Amino acid sequence: MAPQPNRPIEQGDDSPIISPFAQTTSSVRAERPRGRGSWTLWIVSAVLGLLLIGNVAFFTVRYLANPYRTLEPFPVDKYLADFQPLAGSKFGSDLKVVADLGWKENIGRLMVFNAPNDGRPILVLIPPKLAGLYFSKGQTYQVALEVGEGGLIYADSCDKD
Please provide the average confidence, as pLDDT, over all residues in the chain.
83
What are the boundaries of each domain within the chain? 34-65, 76-160
Highest mean pLDDT of the ranges 3-12, 30-39, 62-71: 62-71
Asked whether the whole model's pTM tops 0.85, one would answer no
At 32, is the pLDDT very low, low, confident or very high (cuts 50, 70, 90)? low
Report how far residue 137's alpha carbon sits from residue 129's, in angstroms, rounded to the nearest whole number: 21
Are 87 and 149 in contact, with CB atoms under 8 Å apart?
yes
Query: CATH for 76-160, among 2.40.50.100, 3.30.1330.90, 2.40.50.140, 1.10.260.40?
Result: 2.40.50.140
The predicted model gives 39-68 an average pLDDT of: 89
What is the pLDDT, as a whole number, of residue 96?
A: 92
The 3-state DSSP class for residue 79 equals helix
Burial string for 8-28 (b: 16+ CB within 10 Å, else e) reads eeeeeeeeeeeeeeeeeeeee
